[in-house]
Structure 1
Amino acid sequence: MSETVLPLHVYLASEAETQQLGADLALALKPGDCVALDGDLGAGKSTLCRALLRNLADDPELEVPSPTFTLVQNYDLRIPVAHFDLYRLSDSSELDELGFPEALNSGICLVEWPQRAVDALPRDRLSLVFSFEKEGGRTVELSAPPAVLDRVKRSLAIRAFLNANGYLKAERRHLTGDASSRAYEHVYPADGSDRLVLMDAPRKQQGAILPNGKTYAQTVHLAEDVYPFIAVANALRSHGFSAPGIVRSAGEEGLLLLEDLGTGSVLDADGHPIAERYRASAMCLAALHDTPFEREVALGEGRSHSIPDFDRTAMQTEVDLLLDWHLPWNRNGKEATQEERAAYRQIWGSLFDRLTSAETTLVMRDFHSPNIIWREDKTGHERVGLIDFQDAMIGPSAYDVVSLVQDARVTIGRPLMEQLIADYMLARTKADFRRDQFMEAWAIMSAQRACKLNGLWVRLKQRDGKDGYMRHMPRTLWHLAVAFEHPVLAPLHAWCTKAGIETVESAP
């Protein structure tokens, strides 16, 4: 039997609180979850299901008919949902005929009257048992294995955070998630004031320890909590750049309520780059790289954040992803030999030596389309909204330019790529900015980022079960081919060719 933990008990004084619990649960669920709802007639099961479905649909008016007579209603939402009512089920074997296994494989299953087929339901289900209270209202007991219940607890903690900060009855809607453990929500205050963004960024769990005694995240300087985000946001805003203001924070809990910069994109409706907006982003980046930033950023109450260096160890650890993940995947499981590994690292050591004279600035790290908000109603650099910079470092300025013009998720054609680099260099105002030195650093950082990503996509697939990122590999293999055009990359190009790593010679 699956491990369980002590159940949660939630008191619901009204139908509105039942609806709120349903909406909050929607933000905790993921494909493969089964939610079993038990309790007397009129206890609130259907009310909770309607609220849950409407939240997933982002439609408060979504029609949710009872599945009592049809036994199942299917919904094609952000996550597909099958809503089962098993009251008229005569035998649990009929559940297969209703498509339960298929529905659970691709989405969420809500099951009312689960006792009719309890032996056929997954053991790792989330069980909700409704009961009436003598003084009025009802109580819901929520039980599940730890991994499932922890997600529920996190969603309820977010609700408690909003309530404690004056946002009672605020509506929450899923916004996005990313390759990390962070997730984002839109928050609509009940008083009708401006929509906000909630960042849900729990403190990183300790991962495997590398030979240097640190985890991968620590070695490459990935933020372990929300304090770096707060520090960099305040630093950017102090210099006139459009980072979101911090409205409320619970740093130890990993929760931030942020100013909403909007949903404008540098991409068109078909996901293609809008040249004008990318060019404005390049100009903004040039201004950012001409701005001196302090390494130590005060946070108040005796706390500060020291922006780390993008050092050799971090760069090498990232490019090793190509060795450890991409190369075995590319060669049907055959790992790099000791000779290949030593030669690869020697080449990179020589390349890192060449970076010692390169210009260093504040590096945003992921300055690309998902993290650039286009603000049509603003002017100048304020049009370029900046997010997702908690991993910022002090490193080669060329790295951020690579992030922009070699967007890992969007194909930036060669003409626009070259235009953006030209715009950026023309906009730089520092007297000691050297174009030839910059372009060599750009080629090295292009190869560094491409090697990292071509390994990361495989790691996300094989270790984390996130297959979708593999679709970006043809693009990042093309980026590597572009980097190889610079003569400084000739040794790495030769190594990749000998190892059997084939780049893509034209934009996918």
Structure 2
Amino acid sequence: MDMTGPKGAETFLADAGWAGAAIEPLPGDASFRRYFRIRHPRRGDAMLMHAPPPEENPVPFIRAAKWLDANGLRAPVIYAEQEGEGFVLLEDFGDVRMREFLDERPQEERAIYGHAIDTLVALHRLPPGPFNSYDLAEYRRETRLFTEWYCPARGLNVDAAGWDAAWQDVLVRLLARQRPGVTVLRDYHAENIMLAGGPDRQGLLDFQDALVGHPAYDLVSLLQDARRDVSPDLERAMLDHYVEKAQPGADFAGDYARLGAQRNAKIVGIFVRLWKRDGKPRYLDLIPRVWGLLERDLAHPALAPVARWFDANIPEDIRAAGGGSFKS
């Protein structure tokens, strides 16, 4: 890990009233964003996000954080910002992520996931936020990551036009049911939920890509987690918990499967792209989990056109191996 702070950080902190603070780098993830813990002898701790242009843009994060906070949800408070240089100083939620908390206390799994579902229920009761629409063009752009990255990496010559047509058939059916829509955080899972102040005080992270879309999407993100096993029993219980509280409309189970398959196909493509384009092969180890979730979603009748495409284009040995093995 690069132990140096970004150029201009000390000046930004001084202008924000945090001169003399220590800057401690934190591990990165899949993007160009970097995070630093800021420790000040009088002001306490904060987090510094550096989302440098042109690769990153902090404005969507700032807009979403302020909207969430204004509507009673637990996004980090923003103390200072400098959009042009990509600096944002924000509230420190600490180190207790939902993922690690449950690794140590698996007996609390249902209660913690129940609180996470309650957060989505509260979010979905709000009018949609000031974000772009999660429309058919965006859904289809994301599904193409599978044929653009995964299939070539496996040496597969597939029917790309048929892939698009199958998804058109599957996704067009849910568009009317996602209007007027809810705010979709898009990466709502156990590594982006902080237990800030206790299990029922869950803080939100990584919402800069928020859109207005279908209420099932963030449920898929949480309950079909690429990074953590969620048992089918827990998934079913949490879906029942959501349905009881939110009373979603017709064919919610079908739409959940549609968006599950859409998201999981996208993630498989993204993980291969992170390896091929960005030199981050560690995400390849997560593909078998995501592939297993994708296969489960494909078994739902709502996914019949996409399931037929898989039968015709993806060899059975690759499917049986959870997407196959890669040599990085």
User: Scaled by the length of structure 1, what TM-score is found?
Assistant: 0.59
* Matched ranges for 1:312-391 at <5 A: 312-330=136-154, 333-336=155-158, 340-359=159-178, 360-377=181-198, 379=200, 383-391=201-209
Matched, 1:155 2:6: yes
Structure 1 partner of 2:293: 479
Structure 1 residue 270, shift from structure 2 partner: 7.5
| 8 Å CA contact 2:185, 2:207 repeated in 1 | yes
Could you report, residue by residue, the CA deviation over 1:61-89 in whole angstroms, capped at 9, with x for unpaired residues? xxxxxxxxxxxxxxxxxxxxxxxxxxxxx
- Match for residue 61 of structure 1? none
CA contact (8 A) 1:326 1:455 kept: yes
Kindly report which structure 2 residues correspond to 1:380-419, keeping only aligned pairs within 5 A, or say none: 383-419=201-237
User: 1:168/1:157 Cα in 2 relative to 1: closer, same or farther (>3 Å)?
Assistant: same
1:281 aligns with 2:281: no
Aligned-partner SS, 2:27:
strand
Please say if residues 480 and 503 of structure 1, whose CA atoms lie closer than 8 Å, have aligned partners that are also in contact: no
2:175 aligned counterpart, secondary structure: helix
Q: Secondary structure at the match of 1:199?
A: strand
Matches within 5 A, 1:82-97: none
Structure 2, unaligned runs of 5 or more: 323-328
Which residue identity is paired with 2:125? Answer: D
Q: How many equivalent pairs are there?
A: 315
Map of 1:453 onto structure 2: 267
For residues 282 and 503 of structure 1, the distance between their equivalents in structure 2, rounded to whole angstroms, comes to: 31
Q: Which residue in the other structure is 1:203 paired with?
A: 53
Asked whether 1:259 is paired with 2:91, we answer yes
Aligned-partner residue type, residue 326 of structure 1? Y
Q: Is the 8 A contact 1:173 1:186 kept in 2?
A: yes
- Taking a change above 3 Å as real, the CA distance of residues 439 and 204 of structure 1, as seen in their structure-2 partners, is farther
CA distance in 2, matches of 1:444, 1:505: 23
Q: Residues 474 and 294 (structure 1 numbering): CA distance in 2 closer, same or farther, change over 3 Å? A: closer
Structure 1 stretches of at least 4 aligned residues deviating more than 3 Å after TM superposition: 268-273, 376-379, 501-506
- Larger proportion of strand: 1
Letter of the 1:466 partner, please give it: K
What TM-score comes out, normalization by structure 2 length?
0.90
Whichever structure has more helix as a proportion of its residues is: 2
Tell me whether 1:184 sits opposite 2:16 in the alignment.
no
Q: Tell me how far 1:203 sits from its aligned partner.
A: 1.9
1:481–1:504 Cα contact (<8 Å) kept? no
In structure 1, how many angstroms separate the alpha carbons of the residues matched to 2:2 and 2:27?
A: 14
Once the two structures are superposed, what CA deviation does each residue of 1:294-333 show, in whole Å capped at 9, x if it has no partner?
42xxxxxxxxxxx111112211111111111111222xx2
Establish whether residue 229 from structure 1 lines up as the match of residue 61 from structure 2.
yes
- Indicate the SS of the match to 1:287: helix
Deviation of the 1:352 alpha carbon: 2.0
Gaps of 5+ in 1: 1-24, 29-153, 206-223, 296-306
2:325 is aligned to none
Greater RCO, 1 or 2 (C-alpha within 8 Å, sep 6+)? 2
| More displaced 10-residue stretch of structure 1: 264-273 or 169-178 | 264-273
Between the aligned residues of both structures, percent identity stands at: 32
User: What is the RMSD of the two structures over their aligned residues, measured on CA atoms?
Assistant: 2.1
Give the C-alpha shift of residue 376 in structure 1: 4.0
Give the secondary-structure state (helix, strand or coil) at the position aligned to 1:369: coil
